[in-house]
Amino acid sequence: MAILDAPRGFLRRDRVFETMIPAYSPRLDISHGTILYLEGVSVSFDGFRAINDLNLYIDDGELRCIIGPNGAGKTTMMDIITGKTRPDTGTVYFGQNLNLLKLSEPEIAEAGIGRKFQKPTVFEFHTVFENLELAMRGDKGVWATFTAKLNGEQRDAIDQVLDTIGLSDQRSMRAGSLSHGQKQWLEIGMLLMQRPRLLLVDEPVAGMTHQEMDRTAELLTGLAGDHSVVVVEHDMEFVRSIANKVTVLHQGSVLAEGSMDQVQSDPRVVEVYLGGD
């Protein structure tokens, strides 16, 4: 089944849909249409400025690709958004009213920001279904985990995510038996179980076959709209297949921004990033 057909559960206005709406804080103010603000952000490590007066704005529901050479600050930027790294200067807001610099990493995740790292981290000895169950929002205490019983809506929610990520037929397989691409989709599904409003996805197609890359493109573009999706990626063919807007980072700042055609024809981008490709 094609991934493009799968997100239909996210579009239905029924009880299943209501269990899967993003669980962002009801206080989140996106009245201006922008969900993420980074303004004047700088951070240095041992005298090296990894982020240098960075200004970045992500619209609600958009899919944005971030590209740039190694050392451009892409990972540090995501670390700042998720609270792993605190900047020396600048402001970072989720919506217009949630100051991420005043929140801890768990509080940022609870507010509705999910991050997928480059290497998939799934529970390999558990089934695909169990991985999604373990990732579901709720009481994660040891006793609660061992005694919890899924209700019908929760099972429907897991089934819906399985459908979305294209792993319904693999629901009973151990995660360790999945292909590399399937593990990546499963980890995206585990993020979806936490109902984030903003997804940060780091190099999702590294090591994938062309077929897996195509399905990943369909998955991410299908998620945009209900979610804001920020993708950091080096594969330019993949970026072109999904991106309406591309941001190029260089030396910790925005070097260029626009469509893929616009940034690829920018002489500054060609010089610092694309010239050697």
How much of the chain, in percent, has pLDDT values that exceed 90?
A: 74
Query: Is the pLDDT higher at 170 or at 148?
Result: 170
Contacts of 67 (CB under 8 A, 6+ apart): 232, 233, 234, 236, 239, 246, 247, 248, 249, 263, 273
pLDDT band for 205, please (50, 70, 90 cuts). very high
pLDDT, residue 31, reads: 79
DSSP letters along 31-57, please? Answer: TTSEEEEEEEEEEEETTEEEEEEEEEE
How much of the chain, in percent, has pLDDT values that exceed 70?
A: 85
- 101's tokens: 């610099």
pLDDT band for 190, please (50, 70, 90 cuts). very high
pLDDT, residue 25, reads: 53
Separation of alpha carbons 244 and 125, rounded Å: 38
pLDDT band for 5, please (50, 70, 90 cuts). very low
- Helix residue ranges per DSSP H, the chain: 8-11, 15-20, 74-81, 105-111, 128-135, 142-147, 152-165, 180-192, 210-223, 236-242, 260-264, 267-269
Q: 151-169 pLDDT, tens per residue?
A: 888 899 999 999 999 999 9
What is the Rg, in whole angstroms, of the alpha carbon atoms belonging to the chain?
19
What SS3 class is residue 110? Answer: helix
Q: Is the pLDDT of residue 146 over 70?
A: no
Query: Is the pLDDT higher at 183 or at 149?
Result: 183
Q: Is the pLDDT of residue 21 over 80?
A: no
pLDDT, residue 138, reads: 58
pLDDT, residue 275, reads: 65
DSSP letters along 62-103, please? Answer: -EEEEE--TTSSHHHHHHHHTTSS--SEEEEEETTTEEGGGS
Separation of alpha carbons 91 and 228, rounded Å: 20
pLDDT band for 240, please (50, 70, 90 cuts). very high
User: Which range has the worst mean pLDDT, 11-20, 39-48, 186-195?
Assistant: 11-20
Region 77-91: what's the mean pLDDT? 97
Q: 242-276 pLDDT, tens per residue?
A: 999 999 999 999 999 999 999 999 999 999 887 65
